[in-house]
Structure 1
Amino acid sequence: MLSASDLADRLAQDAEAVCRHYLPAGRRAGNYWLVGDVDNNKGQSLYVHLTGPRAGRWTDAATGQFGDLLDLVRETCGLVDFRDVADEARHFLSLPQPEPVSDLRGDVSDASPVERPATERARRLFRITQPLAGTLADIYLRERGILRASAHGAIRFHPSCYYRDRVTGRTSSYPALIAAVTNDAGAITGVHRTYLSSGLDPNGVGKAKLDDPRRALGGLLGNGVRFRFPVDAPIPVIAAGEGLETMLSLSHVMPGMPIVAALTANHLAAFRFPSGCQRLYIAADADAAGRHGIEGLSRRAQEEGILPLVLSPELGDFNEDLRWLGPDRLTASLKAQLTPEDAMAFLPA
């Protein structure tokens, strides 16, 4: 079994291949690999030594982070336990490495593009989550009136999810509600994380006290967190909106309705309609960004011959309606807004 030092040395022997795999948004400049940060954003504040006695050592000049290539694997993959980092490094070292080709500038580039590590990281994270039922995330949702979330395979729990402060670069971990973002074919393209408090707060389980307790990772554009979506079948009626809890609240009282949470207003406006869609219910959000998302999605729906219909909450959002007005009042409100055939099909009698 290779030690941590041995693994780091093995990775450093082919530092450029490591960078191309985990940081493909970067580029080679002389004896360095330059990229924006460990999240693989474009830029050049993070640099990795590719040759010489410091091969594999890296520094992010913007945050002060530094380390060897094992640290880089940990950061880019969002791993916490060393065992997981070592397993990932061993997996990389077992992969056949493509022969690089030189471009006209003398830099080295791969002959074929590599899938963005963010999508790989999202899929890996979702694989190591656990079922929602009975977990802290289940309690978090139940305290918000969402009692049957564990019936949705797209919602799971991670007891110690990696978190990096974007300002200080400090890393830690928190329990988290994890939601899978999928495309039309049902393939995971990303994840959404809601970081939670430890559960010791006498006021109940809430979001962790962080500047940004909600984060997304991977490919969101056109995709979303889907509930009750059949795969490879026409879907004539759907409901779409932004927030996870908003759409879970609607699913709570309309359990048969295919529902999607696009997570932000911009992603809502860009959501790709499923085949066979005829009517689209859009869950309203009162802020300016929410109106932008509704208008953009409505316009695109009309262009494709789909009837857009807006669902409006009585309070600030549908989760507030569910919590403070109750499921019966929410059901009655929705019944007045759905078409008669959809009210009969998706609401309890």
Structure 2
Amino acid sequence: MLAERIAVLAPELLPHGHREGVEWRCGSLAGERGQSLAVRLTGPRRGVWADFSSGERGDALDLVAAVQFGGNRRDAMTWARTWLGLGDGPVPAIARRAVVNKATTADQDHDDQRRRAKARQLWHSAPTGIAGSPVEAYLRGRGIALREMGRQPGSLRFHPAVWCGEVGRPLPAMLAAICGPNGKLAAVHRTWLAPTPAGGWTKADLQAGKKVLGSFAGGCIRLWRGASGKSLSMAEPGESVIVAEGIETGLSVALACPERRVLCAVSLSNMGRLELPDAIRDVTICADNDGDNPAASKALQAACAWFGRHSHTVRLAKPSMPNSDFNDVLRMNEHEQETDRHGP
């Protein structure tokens, strides 16, 4: 019964979360803003949740126990009966609730379809190719010289006017296609851009400069095909793949290792849900060095365990400097080379 009403229960238990596709997402069981904890809201698995940072998971009753009662299911059961109206108060009519839930599920499914359609419409409204665009200039400012790679990722596009709710008007943006395990476009990642006084482009000065339109669980941005040049679904048996968290990090790695296939998981929590073809055997995770961050460490461990359970050999690479990623490493190396050429 809790699972049937999870679309109401989850926001009540975790009020600072947000709806993302078929899931309610927040930072942890404390309910703060974030992405690491996901509660399924629709379908046969509704009520199932997982905190990809801590590895905790369970059903709807477990969620009540974890949030309200420190894991005590007996106390959670007492609370749940009252919340469901099964205690001293009037008992809700099951038939009426089932109708309401069906309507709610239909509304949620419709919302998911609408967001997916908006993502596809946005993607197809942007011209293909980023050569000479502000996206190329933005990436060049991050030390990523795409022209040195011989070809440019088809998963990236530039759009001159993408609506930004934070400022209430359209802004230029880099778009990235997030494809589901079936290879179809599932969502679009948006990085809003702004021109610099020097004539370049940088990330827009926003509280949330990057956002995803649509649900991307299990999907990824297919940044670089590597030496084979084949799509991910056509990966050759025994092929290896590099998985990064962010776009800039993934492109930095692709620039250094152009012969390797590189994927962007979009978020650390989603890295622990990424679905790869059976032909992929070896996975190298190019992780950010988040310093002394227990939540990030647990999420990374969960990702390694996920790939291990799916019969992949897992290798982990991290920058040595705390609170840095491989794009920081790339830019630092470029700075050192420039200093060696021209002096301090």
TM range (shorter): 0.5 to 0.7
Cα pair distance change 1:310/1:122, threshold 3 Å? same
Within the candidate set 167, 174, 178, 1:177 is matched to: 174
Asked whether the 8 Å contact 1:155–1:177 carries over to 2, the reply is: yes
Within the candidate set 314, 322, 336, 2:330 is matched to: 322
Q: Deviations over 1:47-80 (max 9, x none)?
A: xxxxxxxxxxxxxxxxxxxxxxxxxxxxxxxxxx
Deviation at residue 274 of structure 1 after TM alignment: 2.3
Within the candidate set 140, 146, 154, 2:144 is matched to: 146
Q: Which residue of 2 aligns with 1:216?
A: 212
Correspondences of 1:272-311 after superposition (within 5 Å): 272-287=275-290, 288=293, 289-311=295-317
Deviation at residue 277 of structure 1 after TM alignment: 1.8
State how many pairs are aligned: 233
Correspondences of 1:32-111 after superposition (within 5 Å): 105=99, 109=103
Q: Which residue of 1 aligns with 2:246?
A: 243
Runs of 4+ in 1 over 3 A off after TM superposition: 36-43, 102-115, 326-329
Q: Distance in 2 between matches of 1:181 and 1:112?
A: 21
Cα pair distance change 1:253/1:160, threshold 3 Å? same
Deviation at residue 112 of structure 1 after TM alignment: 12
Q: Which residue of 2 aligns with 1:232?
A: 233
Which residues of structure 1 form unaligned runs of 5+? 1-24, 27-35, 44-101, 330-349
Deviation at residue 159 of structure 1 after TM alignment: 0.7
SS of aligned partner of 1:278? strand
Correspondences of 1:250-261 after superposition (within 5 Å): 250-261=253-264
Q: Deviations over 1:249-307 (max 9, x none)?
A: 01112223111111111111211122222111001212234423321111112222211
Which residues of structure 2 form unaligned runs of 5+? 1-6, 9-16, 25-95, 226-230, 338-344
Q: Which residue of 1 aligns with 2:83?
A: none
Deviation at residue 218 of structure 1 after TM alignment: 0.8
Q: CA RMSD in A?
A: 3.4
Whichever structure has more helix as a proportion of its residues is 2
Q: Which residue of 2 aligns with 1:162?
A: 163
Q: Distance in 2 between matches of 1:279 and 1:264?
A: 20
SS of aligned partner of 2:280? coil
Deviation at residue 40 of structure 1 after TM alignment: 8.3
One-letter amino acid of the counterpart of residue 305, structure 1: S
**TM-score, L = length of structure 2:** 0.60
Asked whether the 8 Å contact 1:194–1:215 carries over to 2, the reply is: yes
Q: Distance in 2 between matches of 1:266 and 1:299?
A: 12
Q: Distance in 2 between matches of 1:41 and 1:278?
A: 30
**TM-score, L = length of structure 1:** 0.59
Q: Which residue of 2 aligns with 1:194?
A: 191
Q: Distance in 1 between matches of 2:107 and 2:319?
A: 52
Q: Distance in 2 between matches of 1:210 and 1:326?
A: 27
Asked whether the 8 Å contact 2:193–2:202 carries over to 1, the reply is: yes
Q: Distance in 1 between matches of 2:336 and 2:302?
A: 31
Which is worse superposed, 118-127 or 308-317? 308-317
Cα pair distance change 1:257/1:37, threshold 3 Å? closer
Q: Distance in 2 between matches of 1:284 and 1:37?
A: 26
Cα pair distance change 1:160/1:261, threshold 3 Å? same
Q: Which residue of 1 aligns with 2:273?
A: 270
Q: Distance in 1 between matches of 2:21 and 2:119?
A: 14
Deviation at residue 210 of structure 1 after TM alignment: 1.0
One-letter amino acid of the counterpart of residue 174, structure 2: L
Which structure has more relative contact order (CA 8 Å, sep 6+)? It is: 2
Q: Distance in 1 between matches of 2:253 and 2:20?
A: 33
